[in-house]
């Protein structure tokens, strides 16, 4: 069954090419199409297009389909082009002509739009919640390790003393920036497109305010052409927001892989979180974080793909939009999985004691030495030259016994202030 079927047969090769893998992808959208169809039926009843008993019967059957979906019994067979045709078929099979009325005053275009936006809306909230959970874990680790010395690097050269507290809380605060983008993305998709039909509205006396409230959208997309043009824009926005989270996690994963190596040896994880080698029995590989890094980089590529497919399309609907469904759903489902495994794994991190007597760290405290001279009355420039001279002639000796309290200071960590930013 096809919603556009006019009784004219279509070449099977063309059908296979144009349908693609929509049946599989639409299983992610089935719940939302059923929910939107319930709202649409109620609206048709409110404006007098459907009788009250017709609305009731449609809602009952859609609720049954939702139960089937939840139980894993709902399938989109090869006879159907997509979830929309499958649902209408099931309604018509049970309700006869009443089922045939469900498509009144809507198009498959706004059906897809509303299902996708409901899907994005719910999942952006889920991604936001998981990101918040990760932030909380990182702030807890930052507080626990706030005074644990960690060499800081610039240009991958030993630079200045830092702390594990600063490292953990740095990524926590960057993830808060990502929360702001997720909130912006949620605002974009939280606009009801239902009722825009094929992009030019409907001559039926529909009530778009009703479906907006019924579906829990904050507002509606008032201009019907703008509603249609939000196809592509929503996918670009959502995948871009996800790419921002992915960028932060990818950089964090790279740090973890680096710090686990024997050359750094700053951190480790329980054996059960790592993998080994088929020929080197000593290996303890950070495969989880390498895969996170690779998957996150792939998610950033998807955001660019959305732009490339949609950036030069004129107004109105184009079949190109079908191509952005798969990877936008892939991005949503994968970032949720990545966040789950990151939260689970990072909570089990083991921070090591670092031997600051190691020769490679002997210049780690030069800035502290300069600052000591300044505090004792010298100018910064003279102090810089003095310590620089000692480094050059090999006479520099760091004050290794000194307590470097600034690395875990309230001003540098500001854990409470960082936590407050989550709610802004």
Residues designated as active site: 155, 277
Whether 124 contacts 179, CB under 8 Å: no
Whether 304 contacts 244, CB under 8 Å: no
Whether 189 contacts 121, CB under 8 Å: yes
Cα(157)–Cα(48) distance, integer angstroms: 73
Give the closest residue to 326 by CA, choosing from 298, 297, 300, 306. Answer: 306
Q: How many CB atoms lie within 10 A of CB 370?
A: 20
Reported in sequence order, the residue ranges of 308-423 that DSSP labels E, i.e. its strands, are 350-351
CA distances 257 to 137, 170, 220, 417, Å, are: 19, 17, 46, 29
Q: How many CB atoms lie within 10 A of CB 353?
A: 8
CA distances 110 to 114, 115, 116, Å, are: 6, 8, 10
């Amino acid at each position: 069954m096809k919603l556009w079927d006019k009784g004219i047969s279509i070449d099977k090769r063309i059908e296979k090419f144009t349908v693609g893998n929509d049946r599989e992808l639409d299983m992610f959208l089935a719940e939302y199409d059923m929910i939107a169809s319930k709202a649409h039926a109620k609206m048709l009843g409110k404006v007098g297009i459907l009788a009250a008993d017709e609305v009731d019967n449609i809602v009952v059957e859609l609720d049954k389909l939702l139960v089937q979906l939840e139980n894993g019994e709902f399938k989109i067979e090869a006879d159907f082009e997509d979830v929309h045709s499958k649902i209408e078929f099931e309604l018509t099979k049970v309700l006869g002509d009443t089922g045939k009325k469900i498509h009144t005053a809507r198009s498959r275009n706004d059906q897809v739009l509303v299902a996708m936006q409901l899907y994005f809306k719910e999942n952006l909230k889920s991604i936001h919640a998981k990101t918040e959970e990760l932030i909380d874990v990182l702030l807890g680790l930052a507080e626990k390790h706030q005074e644990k010395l960690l060499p800081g690097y610039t240009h991958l050269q030993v630079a200045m003393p830092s702390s594990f507290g600063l490292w953990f809380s740095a990524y926590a605060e960057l993830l808060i920036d990502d929360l702001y983008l997720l909130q912006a993305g949620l605002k974009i998709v939280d606009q009801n497109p239902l009722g825009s039909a094929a992009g030019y509205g409907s001559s039926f006396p529909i009530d778009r305010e009703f479906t907006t409230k019924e579906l829990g959208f904050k507002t509606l997309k008032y201009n019907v052409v703008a509603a249609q043009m939000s196809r592509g824009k929503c996918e670009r926005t959502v995948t871009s927001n996800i790419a921002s989270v992915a960028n932060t996690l990818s950089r964090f994963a790279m740090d973890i892989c680096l710090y686990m190596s024997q050359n750094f040896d700053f951190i480790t994880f329980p054996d059960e979180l790592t993998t080994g080698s088929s020929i080197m029995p000593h290996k303890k590989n950070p495969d989880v974080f390498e895969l996170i890094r690779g998957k996150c980089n792939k998610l950033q590529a998807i955001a660019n793909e959305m732009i490339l497919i949609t950036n030069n399309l004129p107004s109105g609907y184009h079949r190109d939009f079908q191509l952005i469904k798969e990877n936008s759903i892939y991005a949503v489902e994968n970032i949720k999985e990545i966040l789950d495994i990151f939260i689970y794994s990072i909570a089990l991190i083991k921070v090591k004691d670092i031997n600051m007597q190691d020769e490679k760290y002997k210049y780690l405290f030069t800035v502290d030495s300069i600052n000591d001279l300044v505090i004792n009355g010298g100018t910064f420039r003279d102090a810089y030259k003095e310590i620089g001279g000692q480094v050059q002639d090999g006479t520099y000796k760091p004050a290794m016994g000194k307590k470097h309290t600034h690395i875990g200071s309230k001003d540098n960590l500001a854990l409470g202030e960082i936590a407050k930013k989550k709610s802004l």
